[in-house]
Structure 1
Amino acid sequence: MNKIQLKEILVNARKDKNLTQNQVALCTDKDISRQYYGMIENGERRPSVEVAKAISVVLDIPWTIFF
């Protein structure tokens, strides 16, 4: 999956749940910052499996889309 597709999925899932990037970061309970989540959403960083799973729970998406 390329960066553009991943970004679309993450942004759409986040907006469908009416969440901000900060809210997603806080809801993961993995102590990630809004900035770090923003970098993941923009395809600038790839999360660890643990963080990917936490984000997927918050956004109700498959965690494997990150890899």
Structure 2
Amino acid sequence: LMVTRHLEWGEIVSVRFGQGRPWVQLDLADGDTLAVMGIQRADGVRADAEAKRLATLVALHSATPRDD
């Protein structure tokens, strides 16, 4: 089973990839969490870099004038 979900940047509250998680997890504004299967711990250093890149993109695209 595979599900695709499209999100607006502002829906993403945080990006998590620590604590031994097998893949990136997004915390959403509605309280849900979403696994990002495209960034997996098994990919090692590349996965770490992609998780950081995603977190940076979320921060850049979800900033409001009050955040600046």
The normalised TM-score by structure 1 is: 0.29
Task: Report the structure number with the largest CA radius of gyration.
Answer: 2
Q: Which structure is richer in relative contact order (CA contacts within 8 A, separation 6 or more)?
A: 1
Greater strand percent: which structure? 2
More helix by share: 1
